[in-house]
C-alpha cells in the first residue's frame, strides 16, 4: 500500500498541525501534558473548538455536516491529534449514536439530534450492558412496553461510561419476548436522562476514578418518536454501532505517540548510573512493540479505506480492537517499567498543577503512570471483551 503523501495532503497536514498548535486553549494543552484529568467543561470546550473549525464530524457524510475527508486525511488528522497530545473527543455522540441516527433514523430525528451532536451541545452515553448481559448482550432484560404514545422503560444498565455527565442515553431495550431468536424483539431507544425515574449511581474503578456508572430506569416514560428505525430491529443497528466502536478503539496513532515519548524518557531516566536507553533488553521491548504497531497501522488503513468507500466497518474491526488494545496495555506496562519507583505514589491533580515540574516526585506525567496502567486494563474489556473479539475473528474473518 502506498502511503506517500501528495502535496495537497502535506498542505492539509500542515494546516491541521498549525491549528492544533496555535488555536486550541493553552490551559488544556498544559493539563494534557501533565496527565491532569480534563473536566466535562474542558472536553466540551475542546470539541466546540473542533466544531468551529468544521472538524467535529470527521467520519460523517458532508450532507450531515461532516468533513467529507478522504481516508488519508482522516489518518493524518488522527495522527496529528495524537502527536499534539490532545484528548480524544468523547465517542458516544459523534462516533456512535450520530452514525446510527443518520443511517437508520427518521428525518425528524436527524434534524432534532444531529446538529447538537456535531456542536457538542448534548452529551450522550451508551446503555447496552446490563448486570446479566455483557458478552451475551442478547440476554438483556431492560423492558420497554408501549403505553399509548410512550414506551415505559424498566430495568438497569451498567458500566455506563460518563453517564454522570450525560444529557441523553441511547439504549438497547427489549420490546418483545415473543420471538424465535433472542436477537429479535430488541429495539434502539433514545432517552433523555432528565426524565423522571432515571437514576445514576457511580462505580469506582481500580485506579480510584469515577468513570463508569449504573443507570436505573423505573417506569421511565419515553415518547414513541424516540425509537430509532423499526421496533425489534435494534440488534441490527446496535451491531453496526459496535463495529464503529471497535474501529475507533485501536488507538494506533496514540500508542505510536506514547512510544515516541517513552524513547525520550528512556534517554533521560537513569537506572544504576546508566540511562535506561542503554538497557538493550528494555529498548528491544520498545522496538518489538513498534513493529507490531506498524503492522496494525496498515490493517487500520485498509479498514479506513473500506469505510471511506461507503461500507460500514466489518468484522475486521475486531482485529483492530483486539490487537490495538493489547498494544495499548503493552505500552502502559513499558511506561510502568520505565518509571520504576516513581510510578508508585498517588499524585492528586491539584498537586501536579500547583507544583513546578522540578519539585515533583518523579518526572511530571510519570507520576500518573500507575493510574494509567490500571485504567488501561479496561481496554480489553469494553467494546466487547478481547475473548469475544477472538471468537468473531475465528468465525467471521478466518471462517473457522
> Which residues of this protein are in contact with ligand FAD, per CB under 6 A?
125-129, 134-135, 159-161, 212, 378, 381-382, 384-385, 387-388, 391
In this chain, which residue has its C-beta nearest to ligand FAD? 134
Residue among 4, 166, 202 nearest 92 (CA): 166
What gap in Å lies between CA 35 and CA 353, rounded to an integer? Answer: 10
Task: Judge whether 174 and 142 are in contact, CB under 8 Å.
Answer: yes
Closer CB to ligand FAD, 211 or 300, in the complex: 211
Output 369 or 389, the one with its CB closest to ligand FAD. Answer: 389
The region that residue 223 occupies, defined by phi over 0 for left and psi between -120 and 50 for alpha, beta otherwise, is beta
In DSSP terms, 214 is beta-bridged to 158, 201
Residue with smaller CB distance to ligand FAD, 35 or 137: 137
Instruction: Calculate the alpha carbon distances from 280 to 131, 175, 274, 287, 288 in Å.
Output: 46, 59, 12, 10, 12
Residue 242 CB, nearest distance to ligand FAD (Å)? Answer: 9
* Stated length of the chain: 400
Nearest approach, Cβ of 47 to ligand FAD (angstroms)? Answer: 18
DSSP state of 344: S
H/E/C letters for each residue in 124-139?
EEEECCECCECCCHHH
Instruction: Give min distance, CB of 159 to ligand FAD, in A.
Output: 3
Q: Grid cell 464530524 — which residue?
A: 57
Q: How far is the CB of 90 from ligand FAD (least distance, A)?
A: 11
Residue 245 is a catalytic residue? yes
* Cβ-based nearer residue to ligand FAD, 176 or 391: 391
CA 336/CA 368 separation, integer angstroms? 10
Q: Which of 130, 231, 245, 300 is catalytic?
A: 245
Asked if 83 and 317 count as a contact pair (C-beta separation under 8 A), the reply is no
Q: State which residue, 69 or 124, has the beta carbon closest to ligand FAD.
A: 124
> What is the rounded distance in angstroms from the CA atom of residue 14 to the CA atom of residue 27?
23
Closest approach of Cβ 328 to ligand FAD, in Å?
13
Between 3 and 397, name the residue whose CB sits nearer to ligand FAD: 397
362 Cβ contact list (under 8 Å, min separation 6): 339, 342, 343, 345, 369
Pairing of strands 143-147, 150-158: antiparallel
Q: In the complex, what is the shortest distance from the CB of residue 300 to ligand FAD, in angstroms, rounded to a whole number?
A: 21
Catalytic residue ranges: 245
Amino acid at each position: 500500500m502506498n502511503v506517500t503523501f501528495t502535496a495537497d495532503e502535506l498542505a492539509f497536514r500542515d494546516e491541521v498541525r498549525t491549528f492544533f498548535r496555535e488555536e486550541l486553549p493553552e490551559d488544556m494543552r498544559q493539563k494534557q501534558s501533565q496527565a491532569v484529568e480534563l473536566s466535562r467543561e474542558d472536553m466540551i470546550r475542546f470539541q466546540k473548538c473542533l466544531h468551529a473549525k468544521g472538524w467535529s464530524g470527521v467520519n460523517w457524510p458532508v450532507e450531515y455536516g461532516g468533513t467529507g475527508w478522504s481516508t488519508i486525511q482522516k489518518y493524518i488528522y488522527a495522527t496529528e491529534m495524537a502527536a499534539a497530545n490532545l484528548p480524544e473527543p468523547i465517542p458516544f455522540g459523534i462516533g456512535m449514536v450520530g452514525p446510527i441516527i443518520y443511517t437508520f433514523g427518521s428525518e425528524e430525528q436527524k434534524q432534532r439530534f444531529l446538529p447538537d451532536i456535531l456542536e457538542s451541545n448534548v452529551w450522550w452515553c451508551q446503555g447496552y450492558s446490563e448486570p446479566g448481559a455483557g458478552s451475551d448482550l442478547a440476554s438483556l432484560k431492560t423492558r420497554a412496553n408501549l403505553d399509548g404514545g410512550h414506551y415505559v422503560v424498566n430495568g438497569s444498565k451498567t458500566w455506563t461510561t460518563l453517564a454522570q455527565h450525560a444529557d441523553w442515553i441511547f439504549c438497547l431495550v427489549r420490546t418483545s419476548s415473543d420471538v424465535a431468536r433472542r436477537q429479535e424483539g430488541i429495539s434502539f431507544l433514545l432517552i433523555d436522562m432528565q426524565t423522571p425515574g432515571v437514576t445514576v449511581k457511580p462505580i469506582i474503578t481500580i485506579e480510584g476514578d469515577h468513570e463508569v456508572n449504573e443507570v436505573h430506569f423505573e417506569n421511565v416514560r419515553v415518547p414513541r418518536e424516540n425509537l430509532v428505525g423499526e421496533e425489534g430491529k435494534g440488534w441490527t443497528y446496535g451491531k453496526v454501532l459496535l463495529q464503529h466502536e471497535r474501529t475507533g478503539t485501536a488507538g494506533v496513532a496514540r500508542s505510536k505517540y506514547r512510544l515516541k515519548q517513552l524513547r525520550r524518557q528512556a534517554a533521560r531516566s537513569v537506572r544504576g548510573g546508566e540511562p535506561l536507553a542503554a538497557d538493550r533488553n528494555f529498548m528491544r521491548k520498545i522496538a518489538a512493540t513498534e513493529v507490531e504497531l506498524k503492522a496494525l497501522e496498515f490493517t487500520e488503513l485498509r479498514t479506513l479505506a473500506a469505510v471511506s468507500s461507503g461500507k460500514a466497518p466489518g468484522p475486521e474491526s475486531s482485529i483492530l480492537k483486539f490487537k490495538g488494545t493489547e498494544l495499548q496495555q503493552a505500552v502502559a506496562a513499558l511506561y510502568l517499567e520505565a518509571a520504576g519507583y516513581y510510578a508508585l505514589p498517588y499524585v492528586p491533580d491539584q498537586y501536579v498543577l500547583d507544583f513546578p515540574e522540578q519539585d515533583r516526585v518523579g518526572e511530571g506525567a510519570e507520576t500518573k503512570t500507575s493510574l494509567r496502567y490500571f485504567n488501561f486494563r479496561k481496554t480489553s474489556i469494553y467494546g466487547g471483551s478481547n475473548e469475544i473479539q477472538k471468537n468473531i475473528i475465528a468465525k467471521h474473518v478466518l471462517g473457522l
